[in-house]
Amino acid sequence: MGQKSMIDQTAFERLLFWLNPDRDKAAEKYEAVRHRLVEIFASRGFPDAELLADDTIDRVTLKVEKIMEGWVGDPAYYFLGVARKVILERKRFPSVVLPPPPPDDDEQERREREDQCLERCLALRPQGDRELILEYVDGNKKQRQEQADRLGITPNALRIRIYQIKKAIRPCVKQCCNEDALQRNHMPQLVI
C-alpha cells in the first residue's frame, strides 16, 4: 500500500466533494461508506476488514478526479465495485493474516474489569435503562414478549431500544477498560 503516500490533501478534499458538496454531509457520508465497507469485508470473512476498507477508499481517492466527472448516481456503488476487486485480489493472493491474539492470562481479572466498567457505564444511563436491559438480556423469548407488553410496545420496538442502549454503552465500557488497563500498567494518566 505504498500508494498511501501519494494521496494528498487535495485528492482527499476532492473525494469528499464528490460524496457531497456540503463538507459536513460529505464527512458523514465518508464515515458511513467506510463503516459499511468494513462490515462487508468482515462478513466475507476477512479478519483485516478495516485495512481492506481503507485500501478500497485509498484506491478510489487516487482515481476520483477521473471518475467524478462522468459518474452518475450514488458514489457508494463505485466503492463497492473497487471493494469487489480487492476481494478478488485477496482470494487470488491471500495475505498472511495473523490469528487472533491468545486470551490474556488474567482472564478472570479482565472479566472483573469489564463487569465493573459495565456497571459504571450503566449507572451513567438514564434511570430505568439498567433494569430494562438486564431484564431483557436475562429473559427468554416469552419473557421478552411479557416485558414488551408491560411497556406497551412491540417486541421489535423493545429489541431496537435494547440495541440502542448497547450501542451507547459500548464506547463507554471500552474507554473505561482502557483507562483501567493503563492505570494497572502504572502509566500516568492525568484526567483533565
Partner 1 sequence: MSPDVVDPNKLRQYLLGALTEEEQLAPIEERLLVDDDFFEELQLVKDDLIDEYVKDELTANDRQHFEQHFLTTSERREHVRHAQSLARCAHKSLQKAKQSSEKKDLKDSNRTRPFFLWTWLPQTPSLRFVTILILVAGVGSLVWRVFLYRSDLQQGQLALKTAYRLRRPVEARVSGFDYAPLPNTRGNNETTVDELSRQRAQRFLLNAEKDQPGAESYHALGLFYLTEKKFDEAVELFRRALELNPNNPYIHSDLGAALLEKGKLYKLNGEDGKSLEAFAESLEHLNRALTLNSHLPEALFNRALCREYMGQQQAAVEDWRQYLENDPQSRWTDEARQHLKQIESQTPEIG
Task: State CA 73 to chain mean position distance.
Answer: 26
- Among candidates 49, 58, 59, 53, which has minimal Cα distance to 97? 49
Q: Name, in order, each residue with C-beta under 8 angstroms of 20's C-beta and a sequence gap of 6 or more.
A: 26, 29
**Contact map string, positions 45 to 84, toward partner 1, x by CB under 8 A:** xxx-xx-----------------------x-xx-xx----
Distance CA 57, CA 38 (A): 11
Q: Which stretch binds partner 1 (CB under 8 A): 9-17, 18-26, 64-72, 128-136?
A: 128-136
Residue 6 or 27 having the CB closest to partner 1: 27
Distance CA 51, CA 89 (A): 14
Residue 14 or 159 having the CB closest to partner 1: 159
Question: Min. distance of Cβ 7 from partner 1 in angstroms?
Answer: 21
Q: Exactly one of 12, 13, 14, 135 binds partner 1 (CB under 8 A); which one?
A: 135
Residue 2 or 100 having the CB closest to partner 1: 100
Question: Min. distance of Cβ 134 from partner 1 in angstroms?
Answer: 4
Q: Collapsing DSSP states into helix, strand and coil, what is residue 73? A: coil
Distances (CA, A) of 169 to 38, 58, 142: 21, 31, 26
- Based on the shown chain and the rule CB under 8 A, indicate whether residue 108 belongs to the binding site for partner 1: no
